[in-house]
Structure 1
Amino acid sequence: MEPASGQKKRRGRPAGKTADTRERIIDAAREVYGEHGTYGTTVALILKQAQVSRPTFYKYFSSAVDVIDEVVRQCNQEVEQLFVRIFEQPQKEFYDYLPMALSGYLNWGRSQGLLMEARFRELHDRSSPVSRYRDEHNRRIASTLHGSMVRHGRTPPDDLALTSLVQGIEHLGYQFCMQAEHTEMPRYIEVMGRLCIAMLGNRHDWQEMMASPFFSRLLGLEENESEIGS
């Protein structure tokens, strides 16, 4: 149908097209980066995965490294927001957050597929955005833990203990996603939970965990009560 007299036909992309195209490029880069890592990811591979032209790609990103940087930032934000959402929920006791936080993190990591393996490979490579943003990323997670403990009237441990805990959980999460079957999640939560109590808690907390049927099962403490309480 011809436009009405005196009206010009509008040209250009439909509303929302720009954002959709940018996100499609980022989603494609996640797939390519997960399979090939930083050094194997090229613009050509991203173009093929995203089904966009080279000029379109360069409207949004200057290079493959530029879009990988955005992928890593978004992944970090997803994890941080996951913990923020969990620790913002009202709970009677601070340790009531543990099952949700640990299982939530492991499920998120499992959903990332090969991307988690690529992140783990580049964890200590300072030329990779994974490594460059790691300390800042982990500090924000530690800050979320710190704030939640304060709100529950607990005294948070020092920065060394918080940092060690976050890095330990990070490593176990990568190991679960790369090496374990999904059915092994309870064992990983058990180990991660014990690490949390050890770094954040005290003798009284261990006693509380052993006195709770739920937490004693979750942390595998039932068979070790005499050893831990001695």
Structure 2
Amino acid sequence: MSIGSSDAAETSITRRGRPPQTREQADEVRARIVAATAAVFTRTGSRGLNVAQIIEQAGLARPTFYRYFGNAVEPLHALLTTSNAGLVGGIRTALSGTDEPVELGIRLIDAYLDWARGHGAMLRPLFAELHDPASPVSEYRERAFDDIRASVRDTFAALGRPAPSPLDLDAALHVCEYVVFRISADAGPGAEPDPEVVAEARLTMIRVLLTTLGTRTDLEYALGLPGLFPEGAD
């Protein structure tokens, strides 16, 4: 049997001078490098990211790193791709869960907050580079926004509602992004946000979404939901 046969390619990944490695083992090492990249990015941001810090964090030799990635930016791209997929996928799932417009808005906000919570301390440098054209983060942020905009417009169409204006939709998304940034920034490096602060921020995001993308009927429905809007003075 030829060394280059398809059967051999499916069962192992062979490197010159190294013993055969199964695909599962290769995937594990790749994931280890990406996880180490996340840890270094959390400490230094993308500008401080380099191969030396990644391999030290991962506990791997330099040749091992270069069997999977050509430079320090490539595992960052893998990390950001996974992050985008989690955000967009979570929002798409949220928007398919009900046909009640107000509940859809609340589910979208909760999906966004769940995504943010899953990033932990990495959220701080991630948000710090969102608007930096020199950072790869900025490019991925625009991709995510494009996908979220499309999902929201598709949802409005499925509900038989006019599509939101581009300005209203962007205003809602940018305010939500800013609120989550404030949560992470105010918590301080490596600290978990105060649950009460997160709860208040969630209400702010929901109210903004309702007033920018909702109708009068939506707002009247929302006024009947307990705790969503402050009670008026007696």
Question: Could you state the TM-score of these two structures normalised by the residue count of structure 1?
Answer: 0.84
Instruction: Tell me, yes or no, if structure 1 residue 110 matches structure 2 residue 117.
Output: yes
Mapped to 2, the partners of 1:20 and 1:134 lie a distance apart of: 27
Identify which of 100, 103, 120 aligns with 1:96. 103
- Determine which of 131, 137, 142 is the counterpart of 2:138: 131
DSSP-derived class of the 1:60 partner: coil
Shift >6 Å, 4+ stretches: none
What residue number does 2:9 align with?
none
**Equivalent residue number for residue 157 of structure 1:** 164
Offset, 1:108: 2.5
Matched residue, 1:61:
69
The residue aligned with 2:221 is 208
**CA displacement at 1:97 relative to structure 2:** 2.2
Q: In 2, distance between residues paired with 1:223 and 1:111?
A: 36
Q: Cα deviation per residue 1:17-65 (whole Å; 9 max; x = unaligned)?
A: 1111111111110111011101111111110111221111111211112
Instruction: Name the SS for the 2:45 alignment partner.
Output: helix
Question: TM-score, normalising length from structure 2?
Answer: 0.82
Higher helix share: 1
Q: Is the 8 A contact 2:102 2:222 kept in 1?
A: no
2:88–2:148 contact (8 Å) kept in structure 1: yes
- Tell me how far apart the structure 2 counterparts of residues 129 and 110 of structure 1 sit (CA, whole Å): 21
Q: Does 1:185 align with 2:204?
A: no
- Partner secondary structure for residue 84 of structure 1: helix
The residue identity in structure 2 corresponding to 1:162 is L
The equivalent of 2:180 in structure 1 is 173
Equivalent residue runs for 1:38-57 within 5 Å: 38-57=46-65
Whether 2:194 is the aligned partner of 1:194: answer no
Cα distance in 1 for residues equivalent to 2:46 and 2:65? 17
Deviation at 1:216, TM superposition (A): 4.4
Local SS of the residue matching 1:112: helix
Does the 8 Å contact 2:87/2:144 carry over to 1?
Answer: no
> Structure 2 CA distance, aligned partners of 1:164 and 1:137?
15
Runs of 5+ in structure 1 lacking a partner?
1-9
In structure 2, the partner of 1:5 is none
- Does 2:229 correspond to 1:220? yes
Q: State the alpha-carbon separation in 2 of the partners of residues 69 and 13 from structure 1.
A: 24
When the two chains are superposed, the root-mean-square deviation of aligned CA atoms in Å is 2.0
Partner Cα separation in structure 1 for residue 185 and residue 32 of structure 2 = 26
8 Å CA contact retained: 2:38, 2:76: yes
Aligned pair in 2 of structure 1 residues 133, 194: CA closer, same or farther (>3 Å)? Answer: same
Counterpart code for 1:31:
A
SS of the aligned residue for 1:70 comes to helix
The aligned counterpart of 1:6 is: none
CA contact (8 A) 1:106 1:177 kept: no
In the aligned structure 2, how far is the partner of 1:172 from the partner of 1:156?
A: 24
Q: Which moved more, 1:144-153 or 1:30-39?
A: 144-153
Moved more, 63-72 or 98-107: 98-107
DSSP-derived class of the 2:60 partner: coil
Q: Which amino acid aligns with 1:199?
A: T
